[in-house]
């Protein structure tokens, strides 16, 4: 969930199982469901274009019904996960319920879902663009998470707060992954363009974090 400043003090809840955290937990539970849909049952087509323009023009979509169903289900689960990401942040602000558990779990849930989707997409599209995209995006999340933890130990966590570029990066990532999960032939180029843009924004946002942390990183001791 996305935390923000409030005009009033956050409530101290006795249970970590409040509505925002429950939505975050639900998002994590969607990951095994997401993977299961991607690979089971094996009889349903996967990785081939879910809708081929040539097939639609000549013989219709019946040959691709199984593949199409799987890709629609995968896309639906991913979109639902993205919606819960927005909702848990909304309810955290609306209900003024903020917890350390939520601050920890929310970014973890987001990164796990994105990583799972990228790994599946690399298998479907074993090319250099998808491989570089997965490596850059996953590596950036690991590096920035470690950087934030280290800065928090120094009491400088606000120096590496989420930037506008970081939010834009997340938006492009989510849209690109959604388009590629559909696996429609006519949208493939759009998906790749969006993914390349997401990679560029990913690198840019990482540079912003590193620049903010550099004065502390170069200190001796």
What tens digit of pLDDT does each residue of 106-153 get? 888 989 999 999 999 999 899 999 999 999 999 998 988 888 777 766
Note the pLDDT of residue 189. Answer: 94
pLDDT band at residue 30, thresholds of 50, 70 and 90?
very high
CA distance 41 to 203: 37
CA distance 173 to 96: 28
CA distance 102 to 22: 9
Note the pLDDT of residue 91. Answer: 87
For the ranges 4-18, 129-143, 145-159, 201-215, which has the lowest average pLDDT? Answer: 4-18
CA distance 181 to 104: 28
Contact (Cβ atoms closer than 8 angstroms) between residue 204 and residue 169:
yes
What is the CA 132 to chain-centroid distance, rounded?
16
Environment class of 55 (CB within 10 Å of its CB; exposed 0-12, middle 13-18, buried 19+): middle
Task: Please indicate whether residue 127 or residue 41 has the higher confidence score (pLDDT).
Answer: 127
State yes or no: pLDDT of 9 exceeds 50. Answer: no
Note the pLDDT of residue 54. Answer: 52
For the ranges 53-67, 80-94, 95-109, 187-201, which has the lowest average pLDDT? Answer: 53-67
What tens digit of pLDDT does each residue of 162-176 get? 678 888 999 999 999
24: tokens are 């975050």
Which of helix, strand or coil describes residue 192?
A: helix
Note the pLDDT of residue 96. Answer: 84
- pTM, entire model: 0.78
Based on C-alpha coordinates, what's the Rg of the chain? Answer: 20
Query: What phi and psi values does residue 21 have, to the nearest 5 degrees?
Result: -70, -35
State yes or no: pLDDT of 178 exceeds 90. Answer: yes
Task: Please indicate whether residue 163 or residue 56 has the higher confidence score (pLDDT).
Answer: 163
């Amino acid at each position: 969930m996305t935390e923000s400043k409030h005009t009033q003090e956050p409530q101290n809840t006795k249970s970590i199982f409040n509505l925002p955290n429950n939505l975050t937990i639900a998002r994590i539970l969607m990951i095994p469901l997401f993977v299961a849909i991607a690979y089971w049952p094996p009889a349903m087509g996967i990785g081939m274009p879910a809708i081929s323009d040539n097939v639609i023009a000549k013989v219709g979509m019946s040959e691709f019904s199984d593949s199409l169903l799987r890709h629609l289900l995968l896309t639906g689960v991913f979109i639902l996960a993205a919606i819960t990401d927005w909702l848990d942040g909304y309810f955290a602000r609306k209900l003024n319920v903020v917890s350390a558990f939520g601050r920890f779990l929310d970014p973890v849930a987001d990164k796990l879902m994105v990583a799972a989707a990228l790994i599946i997409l690399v298998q479907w599209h074993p090319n250099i663009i998808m491989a570089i995209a997965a490596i850059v995006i996953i590596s950036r999340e690991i590096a920035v998470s470690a950087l934030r933890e280290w800065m928090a130990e120094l009491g400088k966590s606000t120096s590496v707060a989420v930037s506008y570029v970081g939010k834009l990066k997340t938006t492009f990532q989510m849209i690109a992954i959604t388009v590629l999960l559909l696996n429609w032939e006519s949208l493939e180029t759009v998906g790749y363009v969006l993914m390349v843009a997401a990679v560029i924004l990913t690198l840019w946002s990482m540079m912003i974090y590193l620049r903010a942390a550099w004065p502390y990183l170069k200190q001796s001791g």
